[in-house]
Amino acid sequence: MSGPLSGIRVLELGQLIAAPFATRLMAEFGAEVIKVEPPGEGDPLRKWRKMHEGTSLWWYLQSRNKKSIAVNLKSPEGLDIVKQLARSADVVVENFRPGGLEKLGLGWDVLSSLNPNLVMVRISGYGQTGPYRDRPGFGAIGESMGGIRFTTGSPEAPPARVGVSIGDTLASLHGVIGALMALLRVKTGQGAGQVIDVSLVESVFNVMESLVPEYDLLGEVRTRTGGALPGITPSNTYPTRDGGFVVIAGNSDPIFRRLMTAIGRPDLAEDPALRNNAGRSQQSAMLDGTIADWSKTQTVEEALAVLEAADVPAGRIYSVADIVADPHYQARDMILQAELPGGTQVKMPGIVPKLSDTPGEIRWQGPALGAHTDAVLGELGLDAERIAALRAKGAVA
């Protein structure tokens, strides 16, 4: 089976999260991704979070379908290998601090001169330009400056973070989108390669909806509102009798009427003041209290049964145990069985999105450091003797 990116070669010069997540998506849909890692320890992600026999489980997921080559970018020979790979690559993805590749002699001017059709995705904290470009920037900083943390959590508590590296992931997705648009331009003969400049801050900021015009025209500073969705009513998280919670989204006009009828408040369903979202938002506290009064008389299962029968969008808040056990996840191939080195079986997330004719696939899990060095260098025309000489010099491992 070949994916829609079959025949596309991607050179990854990245570590940890943002660049590697972008290339993982490309690899799942058929791209040949060659990941360049420093000899010795490799990508630090290999040792992050929970481990299996000395290797991170996150690594096995993040680097599946990739080829790992161990190349010393501080050696002239190592830099020459990267340049040779760039000649035949369609995309380079990197997440050095701005200027980092230039210091190595691998800047855009150098690589694009070798390959005018090359697309370079550059992911950094603040972007390649601007007064903050040289500052170190991780996903947490992008989330903070991008606005999402100011709006996340309870109004009585300090700003909260999402429990995953959402800033890095959003930057990755923007990087993939940019790369595909630039590749389309190249492959259809409309122009040469170009740089995709992705900022962690701007990637988060880009999903912040109408935050800016609300502030500019109305002086509205959107802040933390717990489980509610400001100005979209009712949509919140409500407690149940058994100590659980249900998320209920009754914010369209017909759904609101069905919701109120289902919880025994037909008077509110027919109230002219509540017929549209603007009117409901003016009475959001009352409506949330009314729904909570009902939900507290139900278990999670009872509440969901009532709401499903009324065709009201609702759901439980899933833990990972709920996700793995859920039949819908399983039916959609979102929980897949994988095999780690040594034969250990482990469940891994499936592939998103679902393509009908050219779906993505998992060919192997994250590889050992340098597992593909000899094969990739062999494709560049280096024989075993030359590779051994490079290894002796410390240029590769």
Contact call for residues 64 and 362 (beta carbons, < 8 A): yes
Of the candidates 19, 48, 52, which has an alpha carbon nearest to the alpha carbon of residue 35? 19
> Among the options 43, 80, 134, 168, which is catalytic?
168
Contact call for residues 205 and 146 (beta carbons, < 8 A): yes
Sheet of 245-249: strand order equals: 235-239, 245-249, 314-316
Contact call for residues 119 and 91 (beta carbons, < 8 A): yes
HEC-encoded secondary structure of the chain: CCCCCCCCEEEEECCCCHHHHHHHHHHHCCCEEEEEECCCCCCHHHHCCCEECCEEHHHHHHCCCEEEEEECCCCHHHHHHHHHHHHHCCEEEECCCCCHHHHHCCCHHHHHHHCCCCEEEEEECCCCCCCCCCCCCCHHHHHHHHCCCCCCCCCCCCCCCCCCCHHHHHHHHHHHHHHHHHHHHHHCCCCCCCEEEEEHHHHHHCCCCCHHHHHHHHCCCCCCCCCCCCCCCCEEEEECCCCCEEEEECCCHHHHHHHHHHCCCHHHHCCHHHCCHHHHHHCHHHHHHHHHHHHCCCCHHHHHHHHHHCCCCEEECCCHHHHHHCHHHHHCCCEEEEECCCCCEEEEECCCCCCCCCCCCCCCCCCCCCCCHHHHHHHCCCCHHHHHHHHHHCCEC
Q: Which residues pair with 345 in a beta bridge?
A: 339
Tokens, residue 266: 């037909």
Catalytic residue flag (residue 168)? yes
Q: So which residues are the catalytic ones?
A: 168
